[in-house]
Amino acid sequence: MTPDEGPRSMGELAQMACIWEVMARKMGNVHPRASFCGTTATDFLLSAVAIHSAMTEACSLGIGQTIYRAVAATQSVVHQNTNLGICLIVAPLAAVALDESLTPPTMRRVLDCLTRDDTEWVYRAIRLAQPGGLGDVPEQDVHVLPTVPLREAMQLAADRDMIARQYVHGFADVLEFGVPKLCEAFQRLGSLEAAIIDCQLAWMATFSDSLIARKNGLAIAEDVRLRARDVQSRGGITTSDGRVAAHALDRFLRSDGNKLNPGTTADLIAACLFVALREKMIAPSALFHWPIEDWL
């Protein structure tokens, strides 16, 4: 048995996924060469370490408590919201035993078991993280005591939030769109960093980013999606013309105090990386760095 074939804890897999996600030079996101005001790649790396214990115990803790413990551990280290979305989307995947394959039917079965207590733990986590752009809603607001199971609460937000949508549809977007895109790009491009960036572009060109929509409105989120589609039409990151367009998109996303940060897309990519690692589609030893000179 080689090191890549050996069993790994859910916490270790989650750490690797989070580290890969932040280390890739993605458009509009924090990475080692690009920080936000008060937030650097180091904060995300520390956050990856912080969630290890909770994600390792996800099968026994339950999804809601796993999310809360992961967020609380992160807050104790970096004192800001660096990974609420990642915790929300990775915890259900980590709660499936390693001897089960991750499929939408499997995820729907797991999510059908969620309770009102899970909702309460998640609401506590959200209040602790204080995510940007979170307003009041008419039903099951996170500031009041929930009365429904977590999956039902997520269904109320599924039309406006891509993470909530995964809870409703058995993570179909992650498992049937994102993971295949990531793995295909890795085979085609030969480096994991390039595959992550290509996967980011695929997500952004197909789905409006929920965080952008929450902070700026649906029209601006749709404008970003069309800009990403234009980058794809120019060859994406595999052509010089596409990379020029991608640089322009990166500059646009970083304008106005990073309010156009495609943060939900980054969370979805972390989930894809977790699945690819867990299902042994991509090995921890995979070549990471993309040695292209005219990139970010």
36 DSSP β-pair partners: 39
Q: Tell me, yes or no, whether 75 lies in a domain.
A: yes
Q: Tell me, yes or no, whether 283 lies in a domain.
A: no
Supply the range of the domain harboring residue 30. Answer: 3-278
**Which stretches of the chain are assigned E, i.e. beta strand?**
none
What average pLDDT does range 84-103 have in this prediction? 96
Q: Would the pLDDT of 2 be above 50?
A: no
31 DSSP β-pair partners: 34
User: What's the domain count of the chain?
Assistant: 1
What average pLDDT does range 126-135 have in this prediction? 76
Question: Per mean pLDDT, which of 143-147, 256-260, 276-280 is the most reliable?
Answer: 276-280
Distance between CA 19 and CA 12 in Å, rounded? Answer: 11
CB within 8 Å of 26: residues ≥ 6 apart: 196, 197, 200, 266, 269
Q: Tell me, yes or no, whether 153 lies in a domain.
A: yes
The mean of the pLDDT values for the chain is 94
Q: Tell me, yes or no, whether 222 lies in a domain.
A: yes
With contact defined as beta carbons under 8 Å apart, do 261 and 22 qualify?
no
Give the pLDDT of residue 132: 67
What is the Cα 94 distance to its own chain's centre? Answer: 14
Give the pLDDT of residue 4: 56
Helices (H), 207-239: 210-216, 218-233
Structure confidence by residue, pLDDT tens digits, 221-236? 999 999 999 999 999 9
Q: Tell me, yes or no, whether 286 lies in a domain.
A: no
pTM across the whole model: 0.95
Distance between CA 223 and CA 221 in Å, rounded? Answer: 5
CB within 8 Å of 165: residues ≥ 6 apart: 154, 158, 159, 173
Q: Tell me, yes or no, whether 257 lies in a domain.
A: yes
What average pLDDT does range 229-254 have in this prediction? 97
Structure confidence by residue, pLDDT tens digits, 25-73? 999 999 999 999 999 999 999 999 999 999 999 999 999 999 999 999 9
Distance between CA 18 and CA 221 in Å, rounded? Answer: 24
How many CA atoms are closer than 13 Å to the CA of 93, on its beta-carbon side?
Answer: 30
Structure confidence by residue, pLDDT tens digits, 133-146? 554 444 557 788 88
Report CA-CA distances (Å) from 28 to 129, 152, 291: 21, 32, 20
Which among 177, 157, 181, 18 is positioned nearest to 86, based on CA atoms? 18
What is the Cα 155 distance to its own chain's centre? Answer: 19
Report CA-CA distances (Å) from 262 to 26, 54, 140, 204, 215: 10, 26, 26, 8, 11
Q: Tell me, yes or no, whether 175 lies in a domain.
A: yes
Structure confidence by residue, pLDDT tens digits, 159-213? 999 999 999 999 999 999 999 999 999 999 999 999 999 999 999 999 999 999 9
| CATH number of the domain that residue 7 is part of | 1.10.4200.10
What average pLDDT does range 97-109 have in this prediction? 95
Q: Tell me, yes or no, whether 50 lies in a domain.
A: yes
Per DSSP, 174 falls in state: I
Q: Would the pLDDT of 256 be above 90?
A: no
